[in-house]
Structure 1
């Protein structure tokens, strides 16, 4: 490829001093050398900004702003970006060295009407733990087919796995700054629907860090659930504006049914709104998911009570949950056998 387009790697950063250096190194080690890296420190309280500045160079631009949220940081980075392709990269995730080069070779020049996806895998401490297990999304698909597959099957493609021609990103619009939790549900649905489809790029690997308790995806506050519900509303509306059909309505209903299962017993008002959405869209046959113990409990307790028991186990641990059960049984003996 004679003309080597510039790729902008956009990294929003907030309190990620433990992981940012490794992420930046993975970006700088790209075999596609015509890159710029833009780090936006979103008012971090730790040494994130100092770590970012230690990498500042002709290729790495560091911006500091007051805390405004991830979506605002993504928008600030995009506004500064000069690249013909956009690579979104969370500050704790990693790119394989040839990730970007493989995807550019697949898409061709930046006039491509398609976006590229790639292989991704989770890791907790070391990327060597990652297992790249194929998913149904790991194929070429139209935007509508891709979203239906993802939402019906609860599959994902994390942000770093994509490579987006700039003109498609511009057509899709900016990140919604009202959103925090699952802000990408709205944003990447717009990206996909602004394209002609997804081209899956075998071998273009990214590493998704899991187990980070401070990550945005782990937030379960009232504000976070409100953001999630709004993101689901926006994302499903994006799809229905493109195609309002029985198959798209079912996929959207399934999204809201899954939300009900995930948030129960919290935010009952949002559950009610989600239930109204499910009914309006024609219903969903989705059943609550869980491990063998959850399924066993659901069989004789019902999914709602099983979910409450599951939450107690997660909150207090199996030992304390077991102790609580023993104390409950002892109390019953005292009451019924004084």
Structure 2
């Protein structure tokens, strides 16, 4: 007699978008399979890979791993495909060049299970280089009392591999703009800043809470190519993503729009410093202060440190690099104290 018992659905669906990531995919997948929490599925979305990424995946015989193939649609398109086929109550995003602490899912599941109003759980992150070595810095964001202003100005989630989200939240903010035959969760018209647009859409249009976990459970890879990207283009992309929500919430953006721009310019100034584009760093931090001086009153230490680093651009590179390392460690300590 055949059993009528159905196979239980996984509690967490881990979605990994993949596009030519053969260099990193093993470390990424292993960090999921080594989780202390075991009730998950892994949805690897092949977003048109042309390298050996898929050959690496063939070595894994774990039945929890599922591969979904599609033509290249970008990060948002790959995540959207993963969400649509996901069976889990919770959705965890992991970019293929990042990896997790082995306790990440356990801690996020416990976090979400004990608070039914919590929609987005995220963690602090540590930065690693292309060889997975720790850089001594990371993201240690605010953890509680997260408002739409916090999301707009400071984006406490930080990166796309940090959050674990109730699938109900994503279903609530899904949309169909007529350009695709499927519903979108992440806006596929965006090639950059798609994360902040989605988090902001959740904050502005739902009552779900955002809350963070203090421990750094995500390892975020800083690629050299990413650091040297066109920062002016990044700022324009961020502005475009933010404006997607401005028509529905004009008073909110009138109140906080320029402050958010100032924080974004300060962030890009730090990115310019990391890529050794010191002249642009100086330009960006002054543009940030000109846009809205309140970043100096709200976060004086981080703003002054960024400004001082940019002023040191006239120093020889060796001396500048030594001072920069000390300063970035100081910023890291300030971040930890802020969230303590």
TM-score normalised by structure 2 residue count: 0.68
Q: Is the 8 A contact 1:49 1:64 kept in 2?
A: no
* CA displacement at 1:141 relative to structure 2: 1.9
- Structure 1 unmatched ranges of 5 or more: 298-305, 307-312, 319-338
Q: Which residue of 2 aligns with 1:180?
A: 191
- Please, which of 207, 216, 240 is the counterpart of residue 230 of structure 1? 240
**1:133–1:255 distance in 2 versus 1, CA, 3 Å:** closer
Q: Is the 8 A contact 2:154 2:260 kept in 1?
A: no
Q: What's the RMSD between the two structures over aligned residues?
A: 4.0
Q: Which residue of 2 aligns with 1:41?
A: 46
Deviations 1:245-285 (A, max 9, x none): 63x2443342576699789999xxxx9xxx9xx9xxx9522
Q: 1: distance between equivalents of 2:54 and 2:249? A: 41
Q: 1: distance between equivalents of 2:236 and 2:110? A: 40
Q: Which residue of 1 aligns with 2:70?
A: 65
Q: Which residue of 2 aligns with 1:119?
A: 124
Q: 2: distance between equivalents of 1:43 and 1:11? A: 13
Deviations 1:277-318 (A, max 9, x none): x9xxx9522699857574256xxxxxxxx9xxxxxx9xxxx9
- Please, which of 190, 193, 196 is the counterpart of residue 208 of structure 2? 196
TM-score normalised by structure 1 residue count: 0.68
**1:218–1:240 distance in 2 versus 1, CA, 3 Å:** farther
**1:111–1:186 distance in 2 versus 1, CA, 3 Å:** same
**1:223–1:125 distance in 2 versus 1, CA, 3 Å:** closer
**1:233–1:97 distance in 2 versus 1, CA, 3 Å:** same
Q: How does 1:289-308 map to 2 (within 5 A)?
A: 292=308, 294-295=310-311
The 3-state SS of whatever aligns with 1:100 is helix
Q: Is the 8 A contact 1:143 1:195 kept in 2?
A: no
The 3-state SS of whatever aligns with 2:168 is helix
- Please, which of 77, 85, 89 is the counterpart of residue 80 of structure 1? 85
**1:201–1:54 distance in 2 versus 1, CA, 3 Å:** same
**1:139–1:91 distance in 2 versus 1, CA, 3 Å:** same
Q: Is the 8 A contact 2:259 2:291 kept in 1?
A: no
**1:50–1:134 distance in 2 versus 1, CA, 3 Å:** closer
The 3-state SS of whatever aligns with 2:244 is helix
* CA displacement at 1:112 relative to structure 2: 3.9
The 3-state SS of whatever aligns with 2:58 is helix
- Bigger Rg, which one: 1
Q: Which residue of 2 aligns with 1:329?
A: none
* CA displacement at 1:113 relative to structure 2: 3.6
